[in-house]
């Protein structure tokens, strides 16, 4: 059965359904104020206390189209079936799904725009787990680099089953939440992104991709 992956701008559909996604987006909006993104140091554990197990921080590799799990919450690691912190992110995803989620996160980090998405994961033993993720930009401690702070939360309570990690991931939808430009310094891309990158990212959205993966 063919799958359909949507990549599109704001529309009439529900933006974020999961409470963790809504909490992260509300916190980010409150902390950024008149800036395009808050400093990561301004986001405290108290701000995220209700969703902390699902919170992750991702770092964009400046040399290639890849991300690293700088921090992964306990709930995410337990559901994945492995410790993720310090590992390359999405390397075990199929190429189409990996490229799709990375392009979405590139808009978050490169253009300082939040996004919400959903994907289906399957375990080695055949379990299916539905996820919603929300991702927002935060300024790193150097004052220039941009990290992606995200929640990866399941729609149903999932208990880790020893020896049955998640091994297959299928992106279903990514929505970019375009913000109006705010007063102050304009959002700029970090050295990880060239002008060609920004044009590619910008032109890749506002379209529907019909895939034949399944």
Instruction: Report the percent of the chain where pLDDT is more than 70.
Output: 74
Q: Residue 106: is its pLDDT beyond 50?
A: yes
In the chain, what are the domains? Answer: 4-204 (3.30.450.20)
In whole angstroms, give the CA distance from residue 200 to residue 195.
Answer: 9
Instruction: Return the pLDDT at 164.
Output: 86
In whole angstroms, give the CA distance from residue 38 to residue 29.
Answer: 9
Instruction: Return the pLDDT at 181.
Output: 44
Q: pLDDT digit string (tens) for 17-73? A: 899 999 999 999 999 998 999 999 999 989 999 999 999 999 999 888 999 999 999
Instruction: Return the pLDDT at 195.
Output: 41
Please give the full DSSP string across the chain, using - where no structure is assigned: ---EEEEE-S-SS-S--SHHHHHHHHHHHHHHTTSSS-BGGGS-TTTTTTTGGGEEEEEE-SSSS-EEEEEE-HHHHHHHTS--TTSEESTTS-HHHHHHHHHHHHHHHHH---EEEEEEEEETTS-EEEEEEEEEEEE-TTSS-EEEEEEEEESS-----TT--EEEEEEEEEEE---PPPSSSPP---TT--HHHHHHHHHTSSEEEE----
Instruction: Return the pLDDT at 122.
Output: 95
pTM confidence score: 0.78
Q: Binning pLDDT at 50, 70 and 90, where does residue 160 land?
A: low
Average pLDDT over residues 93-112: 96
Average pLDDT over residues 185-195: 38
Instruction: Return the pLDDT at 14.
Output: 54
Q: Residue 13: is its pLDDT beyond 80?
A: no
């Amino acid at each position: 059965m063919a799958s359909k992956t949507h990549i599109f701008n704001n529309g009439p559909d529900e933006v974020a359904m999961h409470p963790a996604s809504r909490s992260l987006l509300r916190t980010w909006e409150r902390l950024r104020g008149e800036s395009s993104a808050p400093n990561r140091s301004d986001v405290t554990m108290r701000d995220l206390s209700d969703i902390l197990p699902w919170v992750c921080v991702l770092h964009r590799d400046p040399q290639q189209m890849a991300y690293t799990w700088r921090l992964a919450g306990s709930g995410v690691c337990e559901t994945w079936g492995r410790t993720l912190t310090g590992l390359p992110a999405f390397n075990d995803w199929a190429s189409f799904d990996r490229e799709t989620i990375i392009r979405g996160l590139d808009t978050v980090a490169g253009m300082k725009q939040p996004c919400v998405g959903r994907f289906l994961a399957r375990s080695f033993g055949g379990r299916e787990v539905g996820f919603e993720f929300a991702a927002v930009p935060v300024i790193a401690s150097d004052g220039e680099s941009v990290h992606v702070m995200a929640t990866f939360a399941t729609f149903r309570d999932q208990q880790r089953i020893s020896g049955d990690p998640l091994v297959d991931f299928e992106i279903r939808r990514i929505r970019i939440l375009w913000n109006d430009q705010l007063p102050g310094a304009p959002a700029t891309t970090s050295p990880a992104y060239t002008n060609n990158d920004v044009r590619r990212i910008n032109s890749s959205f506002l379209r529907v991709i019909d895939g034949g993966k399944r």
